[in-house]
Amino acid sequence: MKPSLLAIVLLGATLLLAPIAGAATPPSVIVLTYSGPINPASAEYIARGISEAEARNAAAFVLQLDTPGGLDSSMRDIIQHEMNARVPVIVFVAPRGARAASAGCIIVLAADVAAMAPGTNMGAAHPIYISGGTVSEKILNDAAAYARSIASARHRNSEWAERAVRESVSATSQEALSLNIIDLTANDVTELLSKLDSKTIHRADGDITLSLAGTTQIEIAMDSRERILETLNDPTVAYVLFLLGALAVVIEIFAPHGFVTGTIGAVAVILALVGLISMPIQISGAIVLLLGMLLLGLELKVTSHGVLMLLGLIAFVFGSILVLPRMPGFRISLYAIGSVALVWAVMLGAVVRLVLRSRHQPVLMGTQRVAGSSGIAKTNLAPRGVVLVNSEEWDALADAPPIMKGERISVLSVEGLTLHVRKIS
| Per-residue model confidence (pLDDT) at position 327 | 64
Q: What is the pLDDT of residues 346-356, one digit of tens each?
A: 887 777 676 66
**Integer Cα distance of 190 and 226 in angstroms:** 27
Superfamily of domain 366-423: Nucleic acid-binding proteins (2.40.50.140)
Q: Where does the chain hold its CATH 3.90.226.10 domain(s)?
A: 27-226
Band (pLDDT 50/70/90 cuts) for residue 362 is: low
Q: How much is the average pLDDT of 286-290?
A: 89
- The angle subtended at Cα 116 by Cα 101 and Cα 150, nearest 5°, is 60
Q: What is the pLDDT of residues 203-257, one digit of tens each?
A: 877 888 998 888 899 999 999 998 988 888 888 899 999 989 988 888 787 766 6
| Per-residue model confidence (pLDDT) at position 235 | 87
Q: Where does the chain hold its CATH 2.40.50.140 domain(s)?
A: 366-423
Q: What is the pLDDT of residues 80-131, one digit of tens each?
A: 999 999 999 999 999 999 999 999 999 999 999 999 999 999 998 877 655 5
Task: Please determine, for residue 363, whether its predicted confidence score (pLDDT) is greater than 50.
Answer: no
Give percent of the chain above pLDDT 70: 85
Q: How much is the average pLDDT of 362-377?
A: 69
Q: How much is the average pLDDT of 1-29?
A: 56
Q: What is the pLDDT of residues 36-72, one digit of tens each?
A: 989 889 999 999 999 999 999 999 999 999 999 888 8
Q: What is the pLDDT of residues 201-211, one digit of tens each?
A: 888 778 889 98
**Integer Cα distance of 42 and 330 in angstroms:** 15
**Domain 27-226 adopts which CATH fold?**
2-enoyl-CoA Hydratase; Chain A, domain 1 (3.90.226)
**Integer Cα distance of 41 and 51 in angstroms:** 15
0.75 exceeded by the pTM?
no
| Per-residue model confidence (pLDDT) at position 277 | 80
